[in-house]
């Protein structure tokens, strides 16, 4: 049973990583990296390492996504009230 869950989580991580590479929308790619970290958190819990899982959840899923999103905002690719279309266009221009 545990093996099955781990298999599922690894597949989710792979899909998240692929999405982060292939997505044109950079904000969505940032969210995809969070998905990778979140699945990794669950794997750490299954491996009975709650301390590491906590760090991964806080730093990997929370803080790094926040820093990436802020970086996008600073570069002018993402603004708070920007529609999706123009975001993709700007990301394509970079």
Partner 1 sequence: MQQFFSMLFLIGLLFLLSILTGLLPFATPPMLIGQAIQQQAVDATGAANLVTSVVLGYRGIDTLGELSILFAASAAGGLVLGKTVRAKKAASENTGFILQAGTDLLFPLLLVAGLYIVLHGHLTPGGGFQGGVLLATAFFLPVLVRPGTSVSHKLLIVIEGLAGASFIAIGLLALYQGGEFLQPFLDKGLTGQLLSAGTLPLLYLAVGLKVGAELAGLLANLSTEQDGENDHVA
- Cα angle 17, 20, 22 (rounded to 5 degrees) comes to 105
Between 35 and 43, whose beta carbon lies closer to partner 1? 43
Residue 79, helix vs strand vs coil: coil
Chain residues that interact with partner 1, rule: CB under 8 A = 3, 6, 46-48, 50-51, 53-55, 58-59, 62-63, 66-67, 70-71, 73-77, 80-81, 90, 93
Between 32 and 91, whose beta carbon lies closer to partner 1? 91
Residue 65: how many CB atoms within 10 A of its CB? 19
Kindly state the smallest distance separating residue 73's Cβ from partner 1, in Å: 8
Between 83 and 93, whose beta carbon lies closer to partner 1? 93
């Amino acid at each position: 049973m545990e093996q099955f869950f781990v298999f599922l989580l690894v597949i989710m991580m792979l899909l998240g990583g692929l999405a982060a590479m292939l997505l044109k929308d950079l904000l969505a790619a940032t969210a995809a990296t969070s998905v990778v970290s979140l699945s990794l958190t669950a794997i750490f819990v299954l491996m009975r390492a709650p301390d590491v899982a906590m760090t991964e959840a806080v730093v990997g899923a929370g803080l790094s996504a926040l820093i990436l999103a802020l970086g996008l905002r600073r570069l002018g690719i993402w603004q708070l009230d920007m529609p999706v279309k123009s975001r993709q266009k700007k990301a394509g221009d970079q």
